[in-house]
Chains A and B, each alone.
Chain A
Amino acid sequence: MKVFSEGPRSNNFERLLERETLSSQGSSMQTIMFYVLAVVALFSAMMVISRKQPVQSVLFLVLTFFCLAGLYVLLGAQFLAAIQIVVYAGAIMVLFLFVVMMLNLRDPDNIEGRSAWQGFGVIVGLGMLLVILAFIARSPSDTAMQDSALKTEAVQTAIIAGELNSTSTDADVENVENSIYRQGRADSMGGELFTSYLLPFEIAGVLLLAAVIGAVGLAKKRRA
């Protein structure tokens, strides 16, 4: 990297390398969080598909969604995490719960029975898992796909752009590093949504309207 070999900038570069260890220390916390959330999410997902009582399934699904929201935060998608909790865990799952309770299924055993195709379904599902994993294993590994690499790249870009120089403080550098989490924030999301994706956004609104009308039309009791 020729850019960094000369004068004060090489000094900066040294400092950045130092910071890399710092950030990797910070990322170990993230890793722990990931594993905890992932394990809980998988466990609750398994509970979702294995409970006999739909109410239990709904509650475990809510738990899964919470874990996923946590993972979204780890990925810097704070806004989406909030939406996940408000819309999914809040609105959608309440709707589920409402329906489950309304239908008032007293004899859950009666509606669930075993048959050959259920076993076959497990086999197909596991087969799908294996195949996708095989695809992942075959794909070339890319070390750049981690937070520390992203931060380093952001810092480098900032140096080239002249936003960071020898006078920059650690806080400035940290600021630049954290910019990798910026795009998931509500403000940047909103900016995108109301500029580049305005038309899809509006159409999504129309879709929701249609869904509301459809749902009401379907569920309404018809006069016999």
Chain B
Amino acid sequence: MQYAVLLILFPLIGVIINGFFGRKLPEKVVGWLASLLIGASFVVALSLAVQLAGIPSDVATEPAHGGHADAMHEDVIHAESTHDAGAVAAEELSHDSHEPAATEVHGEVESHEAMVDAHGEAEAQDVHGGCEGCEVSHPSVNVRHSRWLEIPVFTWIHVGDLDLGFTILVDPLSVVMMLVVTGISFLIHIYSIGYMAGDPRFRLFFVYLNLFVFFMLILVSGNSFPVLFIGWEGVGLCSYLLIGFWWGDMSKATAGMKAFIVNRIGDFGMLVAMFLLFHHLGTLTFQGVFEGAAAKWGADIGAPAITAITLMLLMGATGKSAQIPLYVWLPDAMAGPTPVSALIHAATMVTAGVYMIARSSVLFALAPAGMTTVAVVGALTAIFAATIGIKQFDIKKVLAYSTVSQLGYMVMACGVGAFTAGIFHLMTHAFFKALLFLGSGAVIHTMHGALHHVHDHHTDPQDMRNMGGLKKYIPLTYWLFVVATLAIAGIPGFSGFFSKDKILEMAFMMGTAEGLNPGNFLPYALGLIAAVITAFYMFRLVYLTFHGDYKGPKGSAEGLHESPPVMTMPLVVLAFLAVVGGYVGLPRVLSHVNHFENWLYPVFAPANRILDVVAHQVHAIPPGQAFHAFPHPEPWLEWVLIGVSVVAALVGISIAFTMYIKKGLVGEPDEKQAGFGKVLWQKYYIDEVYDALVIRPLIGICRFSWRIIDAAIIDGGMVLGTAKAVHWVGGGLRRVQTGVVSNYALMLVAGVLLVLVLFMFR
């Protein structure tokens, strides 16, 4: 498995060759070299996946149908320990002595007494040498399984107790990420050869792209938080470089800085989380941290420390994955070249936060409050961004808010314990969102060509109000775009449907599991509304862009032409993936085996086991029947949920159809925006609010620090003041240095005299 290093090495080779020796190489060579190296990485990832699949899993997956609760229970607990009521109760009892408040959660005195009995029983059995399935157990976890392969590359940090290797972790989750990253990167690299053709800094663009892939692969394949953090920071850097790739335009350079700075806030959270982990557990490798955390907090679920850690990790995720409140950088990041938007700001980098949460699933499982926060943040982001998307006219801005919204879905999935569904959506989203962005790039490319044709340099080629009717000029792009739109809208048969439906189903099941309180269905409700809105704004996009009449400048329609094959071919591949990508994880009612779930099962089994225990403790659900550890609705309920999802999508589409096809509405110009529409168009004025609440006060403080504290007090008062005082005192004291020996003698004798006098009166 040592060849796994090549996975990371290939992009780095591209960076080195193109970056240091590529000055003389022709554009085509640079582009294809970079692309093929990523392709090579993809092949390596593929081979890793095949090899991993060849290893039999030692974590048994659940049976396909029926009675899963019990059967699954046996499997998960997996000979290590069994949760019978007595054990769990005893566990609870041991907490009660520390935390009286916990008793309230568990309710009545009666059950308490029962616990005492159970406890006594368990203890008695223990004394008698124990018996199978009756030892008291914390949800201690064994993270390693047969498909958890660590490939050491070199020792990175070895200091004190900390021994960190630069080690590649190959497990089902990281392999999925590697495939997604390298696969999509490969396609987008090829696309970029066409899109960036003729750009004066073509070579640099590919160097940055390769560098990005290099860091992204480190991010997904690291076996510890610090290695993940290298990748985390590295992709942030590449994101900054690529957003501001055309830095000649001030607004683009500013967008790059905004992305970088907002991400630093999230990175702060990541760092604090790592510090806390190291402080509490003394290790930072995934295995060490997860097993250590389970051992330390397994008996004390929801402890402040672990809750703080998960919230800090969430903060990191909100920065990287553009969640509320740090999502503001992502829409602006669309200033970068469109392939960058597709690769970094839709398909891969922004999913790093989701990946990190999923990877840390054990930690989140140990902190119910953290989980809830994740779910709420995700759900709010999903609907919040979706509403903004309704009123945007820049084709890429719509897609950007759509991305934020979809990322919200993924985060919400993680928050409700559906890590598998989150990763599933991450994958399908990567396919169809990359396709959407590249398609929009093709549209922009076309529009640009058309405007160039009539020498119009004022009209915005990205504004949908200048498009319309492109369907007949660029049919291939249109049909590919429609496929992706159907996928994101959640039309059955396309990949987005399966993953989104899975998330909604899980959110709904969480609601039922926690009791039929309306508040518990909030994530589901928000997700469902967001689904309606998503379908609406996506079809609005399609209708405005491709249907109706062409609204561009006169005569420019003759300049409209299809993009070159080097750009359309990757789109075709992505479209194929956008359709079939979902079939690896078919819903339970349609297929008796969900390959994707089974594949990721060992990764999330420890977290699911903890969630199972949490469900007992918090919700008093009988062991083994907790929803988290694989919540499965009854078939009829599943059908209903699927139906609701489809209806939601269709409602959205039909509203869009009514408005933009039947009524033939077109986007109103900027100055005619009014009412709530204007609020949406202005993105809820969030940027303005941040500006007023954060940036201006910050600038005020900085100005104060600069003018008053630094310039006046420190520079003027302390630094110059000290110098002035020394100068002044010295100016006076130097008179003492007359250069006349007699005066020195006089002082000397006077000093001796003084000492003698002091000596006399001592």
* Residue picked from A120, A124, A135, most chain B C-beta under 10 Å: A124
Contact A124 B743 (CB under 8 A): no
Residues A46-71 near B (CB distance < 8 A): none
A134 within 8 A of B: yes
Contact B743 A117 (CB under 8 A): yes
Kindly supply a per-residue 1/0 record for chain B positions 550-579, scoring 1 wherever the CB is within 8 Å of any chain A CB and 0 otherwise: 000000000000000000000000000000
A138 vs B743: C-alpha distance when bound (angstroms): 31
Label chain A's interface by main secondary structure: helix
B79 within 8 A of A: no
Residues of B within 8 A of A131 (CB): 753, 756-757, 760
Contact A127 B746 (CB under 8 A): no
Kindly supply a per-residue 1/0 record for chain B positions 730-762, scoring 1 wherever the CB is within 8 Å of any chain A CB and 0 otherwise: 000000000000110010011011001100100
Q: Give the contacting residue for A127; candidates B742, B743, B753; CB below 8 A.
A: B753
Q: Give the contacting residue for B746; candidates A120, A134, A135, A138; CB below 8 A.
A: A120
Residues A117-140 near B (CB distance < 8 A): 117, 120-121, 124-125, 127-128, 131-132, 134-135, 138
Residues of A within 8 A of B757 (CB): 131
Label chain B's interface by main secondary structure: helix
Residues of A within 8 A of B753 (CB): 124, 127-128, 131
Residues of B within 8 A of A125 (CB): 749
Residues of A within 8 A of B746 (CB): 117, 120-121, 124
Closest to A123 in B: B750
Starting from the known contacts A125-B749, A132-B756, 20 additional A-B residue pairs (CB-CB under 8 Å) come to A117-B742, A117-B743, A117-B746, A120-B746, A121-B742, A121-B746, A124-B749, A124-B750, A124-B753, A127-B753, A128-B752, A128-B753, A128-B756, A131-B753, A131-B756, A131-B757, A134-B760, A135-B756, A135-B760, A138-B760
User: B residues within 8 Å of A by Cβ?
Assistant: 742-743, 746, 749-750, 752-753, 756-757, 760
A96 vs B756: C-alpha distance when bound (angstroms): 33
Interface size in chain A (residues, C-beta < 8 A): 12
Shortest distance between the CB of A135 and any CB in chain B (Å): 7
A133 vs B756: C-alpha distance when bound (angstroms): 12
A131 vs B757: C-alpha distance when bound (angstroms): 7
Residues of A within 8 A of B749 (CB): 124-125, 128
A75 vs B288: C-alpha distance when bound (angstroms): 94
A134 vs B753: C-alpha distance when bound (angstroms): 12
Shortest distance between the CB of A141 and any CB in chain B (Å): 18
A217 vs B75: C-alpha distance when bound (angstroms): 105
Residues of A within 8 A of B750 (CB): 124
A127 vs B746: C-alpha distance when bound (angstroms): 12
A124 vs B748: C-alpha distance when bound (angstroms): 10
Residues of B within 8 A of A121 (CB): 742, 746
Closest to A135 in B: B760
Residues A94-127 near B (CB distance < 8 A): 117, 120-121, 124-125, 127
A131 vs B750: C-alpha distance when bound (angstroms): 12
Q: List 5 A-B contacts (CB under 8 A).
A: A124-B753, A127-B753, A131-B753, A131-B760, A138-B760
A138 vs B757: C-alpha distance when bound (angstroms): 13
A117 vs B756: C-alpha distance when bound (angstroms): 21
A127 vs B750: C-alpha distance when bound (angstroms): 9
Shortest distance between the CB of B749 and any CB in chain A (Å): 5
Residues of B within 8 A of A120 (CB): 746
Shortest distance between the CB of A197 and any CB in chain B (Å): 29
Shortest distance between the CB of A126 and any CB in chain B (Å): 10
Closest to A132 in B: B756
A153 vs B742: C-alpha distance when bound (angstroms): 48
* Residue picked from B742, B743, B746, B760, most chain A C-beta under 10 Å: B746
Closest to B751 in A: A124
Shortest distance between the CB of A123 and any CB in chain B (Å): 9
Residues of A within 8 A of B752 (CB): 128
Closest to A121 in B: B746
Residues of B within 8 A of A138 (CB): 760
A150 vs B441: C-alpha distance when bound (angstroms): 122
A128 vs B756: C-alpha distance when bound (angstroms): 9
Closest to A127 in B: B753
Shortest distance between the CB of B685 and any CB in chain A (Å): 79
A124 vs B747: C-alpha distance when bound (angstroms): 9
Residues A188-221 near B (CB distance < 8 A): none
For the complex of A and B, list the 6 residue pairs with the smallest distance between their C-beta atoms, beginning with the closest.
Answer: A131-B756, A124-B750, A127-B753, A124-B749, A128-B753, A121-B746
Shortest distance between the CB of B741 and any CB in chain A (Å): 12
A184 vs B215: C-alpha distance when bound (angstroms): 97
A127 vs B743: C-alpha distance when bound (angstroms): 17
A110 vs B184: C-alpha distance when bound (angstroms): 101
A125 vs B742: C-alpha distance when bound (angstroms): 13
Residues of B within 8 A of A134 (CB): 760
A209 vs B741: C-alpha distance when bound (angstroms): 27
Shortest distance between the CB of B754 and any CB in chain A (Å): 10
